[in-house]
Amino acid sequence: MTGFPQGFDPAAIGAKVAEGGLDEIENLLPEEWREQVRAFPLAAVAVGVGIGIWLGLKKSDDVIAAGTALISAAVMGNVAQVMENMRE
């Protein structure tokens, strides 16, 4: 048990973002939430900062593990692409 709410898997989200690129982050939020962010951008930034501070204080090990997984997946994807290009 990671301590995250049921159904929230940071490693799976990191892998999804690594595969789809940064555009995939936008698809993580439901459309209703995106409308709220468009309507109240400063409040959304404040909430994001608050969540970031809370995650940093309470879940730092899990956040570091998810970030490491994201970075290593992106690096390995780039290495695989370079190796494929070298074969051609």
Residue 32 is assigned to a structural domain of this protein: yes
User: Tokens in use for 19?
Assistant: 């595969």
Name residue 13's amino acid.
I
Residue 3 is assigned to a structural domain of this protein: no
Residue 20 is assigned to a structural domain of this protein: yes
pLDDT at residue 42 greater than cutoff 90:
yes
Taking the whole predicted model, whether its pTM rises above 0.75 is answered as no
Residue 2 is assigned to a structural domain of this protein: no
Q: What is the pLDDT of residues 18-32, one digit of tens each?
A: 777 766 667 777 788
Residue 74 is assigned to a structural domain of this protein: yes
What's the total number of domains in the chain? 1
Q: Which domain holds residue 66?
A: 10-87
Name residue 1's amino acid.
M
Q: Are the C-beta atoms of residues 8 and 55 closer than 8 Å to each other?
A: no
Residue 62 is assigned to a structural domain of this protein: yes
Q: What is the mean pLDDT of the chain?
A: 80
Residue 64 is assigned to a structural domain of this protein: yes
pLDDT at residue 55 greater than cutoff 60:
yes
